[in-house]
Amino acid sequence: MNETTPNPSPQAPAVGAPSVDEKQWALFAHLSILLGGLVTTGWGFGIGCFLGPLIIWLIKKDTMPFVNDQAKEALNFAITLSIVGFALLMLTILSLGIGVLITIPVLMLVGIAALVLVIIAAVKVNEGVAYRYPASLRLVK
pLDDT in tens, 88-121: 889 999 998 888 898 899 989 998 999 999 999 9
Q: How confident is the model at residue 46 (pLDDT cuts 50, 70, 90)?
A: low
Predicted confidence band of residue 48 (pLDDT cuts 50, 70, 90): confident
Distance in angstroms (rounded) separating the CA atoms of residues 68 and 74 = 10
- Supply the pLDDT for residue 27: 95
Q: Is the pLDDT of residue 135 over 50?
A: yes
Mean pLDDT of the chain: 85
Calpha distance 76→40 (Å, rounded): 18
The mean pLDDT value for 113-141 works out to: 92
Residue 35 or residue 5, greater confidence? 35
Residue 11: predicted pLDDT: 47
Question: Mean pLDDT across the stretch 81-86?
Answer: 88
Dihedral angle at the C-alpha atoms of 75, 87, 104, 134, nearest 10 degrees?
A: -40
Domain boundaries, the chain: 20-126
Q: What share of the chain is helix, strand, coil (3-state, %, to 5)?
A: 70, 0, 30
